[in-house]
Structure 1
């Protein structure tokens, strides 16, 4: 079970993020989770995000001349307490799954949903399910 993430590169200059926000608003797409790095090798900024409607979001960005990469990432529920992150990282480590990046999505009083990128998605899903870690789909996130 995975969610759809969009990634775009953009110049690192004022107004870029507000432009993306405006495009998503006009397309009636909510950004559910977001990671932004203002500098990458080459000097561009990088935005990774999980949209409420991936197809609509990608189409809106492409219509504005942007290159969009789509990938499947994990949305895993993590206990919200000291050491809670270990609950999802330990099974991945034991399965020899490398986490390329992670960022938060939604936090409730009892848990946090983390977005995780890996090039071993199937193995990660298997390892987390084996340890009873709740994984979310695009529809699950939309219904929260």
Structure 2
């Protein structure tokens, strides 16, 4: 399990640049990101090298920030790899709220960040089914 930082942004020129500059100036590396938007605002979701520090510096810079627990799953980097993991999650009745790709890889697998309804249930199911996932320490160091 890992901490994801979510930043709520007005749809204005330069807001995303400001977030990335605040993080960069604080020495925080962005490892994965996803942005969803409407006409008025966006939600920037980030996996960063130091989520506690990122939360603090973004709050201090005036951004609306929240933390969410997510899970980083190692997905075979081959055709059907993601489908296999998703099918197993379906068999376990794990509800996926959203997912996005991680920028790096681990042990020649792709990494996908999942936000699921019940993260503890997902963690147990992954262990039982042999689905690999990364703990937060390894994830932040990639």
TM-score, structure 2 normalization? 0.92
| Corresponding residue of 1:96 | 93
Question: Per residue, is there more strand in 1 or in 2?
Answer: 2
Q: What are the equivalent positions in structure 2 for 1:6-85 lying under 5 Å apart?
A: 6-39=5-38, 43-85=40-82
Query: 1:103-129 CA distances to partner (integer Å, 9 max, x unpaired)?
Result: 001344832100000121011111111
Q: Is contact 2:73-2:113 (8 Å) kept?
A: yes
**CA RMSD across the alignment:** 1.5
SS at match of 2:75: strand
Matched residues, number? 141
Query: In the TM superposition, what is the alpha-carbon distance from 1:61 to its structure 2 partner?
Result: 0.5
The verdict on how the C-alpha distance between 1:98 and 1:4 changes in structure 2, with shifts beyond 3 A counting, is same
Query: Gaps (5+ residues) in structure 1?
Result: none
Query: In the TM superposition, what is the alpha-carbon distance from 1:22 to its structure 2 partner?
Result: 0.2
Query: 1:44-95 CA distances to partner (integer Å, 9 max, x unpaired)?
Result: 1110111110110000000011121101101000011111102321221111
Q: Is contact 2:31-2:104 (8 Å) kept?
A: no
Query: Gaps (5+ residues) in structure 2?
Result: none
> For residues 63 and 19 of structure 1, what CA distance do their matches in structure 2 show?
13
| Corresponding residue of 2:117 | 119
Q: Is contact 1:88-1:128 (8 Å) kept?
A: no
